[in-house]
Chain A
Amino acid sequence: EVQLEESGGRLVQPGGSLRLSCAASGFTFSSFQMNWVRQAPGKGPEWISYISDSGSDTYYKDSVKGRFTISRDNAKKSLYLQMTNLRVDDTAVYYCVRGKLEMATILNPFDVWGQGTLVSVSS
């Protein structure tokens, strides 16, 4: 079964840092683009970051650029999101999400989502 499982979310103070992890199983992780998508309470999903299958290309939403870093370890079948200088408006459920097509060189639909991990930023 194809699965994604996030971990690492917790309550953190403004200005703090956090590292999220996502463990993949049931598919050839190294062949797929991966993304982080977040959803603030009562709001719609918001894409925040992308990484290519090899890890050579990364993209970020402007609101997190310079503060968040996406990375992956294909040998460990894991995706990461390092978050620094966290703000109150970063409070959200963070989802690890797979791009649908194997070996894709362009953006593609998000077909597999994890259950999410909650990040709360508050003093």
Chain B
Amino acid sequence: DVQLTQSPSSLSASVGDRVTITCQASQDISNSLNWYQQKPGKVPKLLIYDASNLEEGVPSRFSGSGSETDFTFTISSLQPEDIGTYYCQQYDDLPPDFGPGTKVDL
């Protein structure tokens, strides 16, 4: 199975800050990496797919980059509504597992 590690596991930032989360895969997964946001008490939401493609309707302050084993997720200017946990997920191979998550708060 492909193992995903995320760092940091949690972070605190201020409104307007640039926030960066990394996700590392245990093997080459090409660009088959997604990023999801889960706000407290809510359902996970797809933000970025194929490593760098912004899902329709998602604000442009969210972005993703990377390929093979190293990926980065960025919020260019943190907003209060961005508080929650962010998960990477690979879908290059079964099982399409999620990373352990990064909790973002203010």
Residues of A within 8 A of B (CB): 44-47, 50, 59, 61-62, 95, 100, 107-111, 113-116
CB distance from B105 to the nearest CB of A (A): 16
Give the residues from 71 to 95 in chain B that come closer than 8 angstroms, CB to CB, to chain A.
85, 87, 89, 91-95
B91 touching A44, Cβ below 8 Å: no
Contact A109 B34 (CB under 8 A): yes
In the complex, what residue of chain B is closest to A49 when comparing beta carbons? B95
Q: Which residues of A contact B95 (CB under 8 A)?
A: 47, 59, 61-62
New A-B pairs, 9, CB < 8 Å, besides A107-B32, A111-B49? A45-B44, A62-B95, A95-B43, A100-B46, A100-B49, A108-B91, A110-B89, A111-B55, A115-B43
B8 within 8 A of partner (CB): no
| Distance between A92 CB and nearest chain B CB, rounded to angstroms | 13
Interface centre among B87, B94, B95, B98 (most CB of A within 10 A): B95
Chain B's interface: helix, strand, loop or mixed, by majority? loop
Are A114 and B43 neighbours in the complex by a CB distance under 8 Å? yes
A39 to nearest B CB, angstroms?
8
B99 vs chain A, min Cβ distance (A): 7
Across chains A and B, which 6 residue pairs bring their CB atoms closest together, nearest first? A109-B49, A107-B91, A113-B43, A109-B34, A44-B101, A45-B98
B96 interfacial by beta-carbon distance below 8 Å:
yes
Instruction: Kindly state whether residue B68 has any CB partner on chain A within 8 Å.
Output: no
Q: How far is the CA of A116 from the CA of B42 in the complex (A)?
A: 10
CB distance from B34 to the nearest CB of A (A): 5
Are A44 and B96 in contact (CB-based, < 8 A)?
no
Q: Give every chain A residue within 8 A of B49 (Cβ-Cβ).
A: 100, 108-109, 111
A47 touches B34 (CB 8 A): no
Q: Please, how many angstroms separate the alpha-carbon atoms of A100 and B96 in the complex?
A: 14
Contact B43 A44 (CB under 8 A): no
> How far is B97's CA from A95's CA once the two chains are assembled, in angstroms?
15
Which residues of chain B come closer than 8 Å to A111, judged between CB atoms?
A: 46, 49, 55
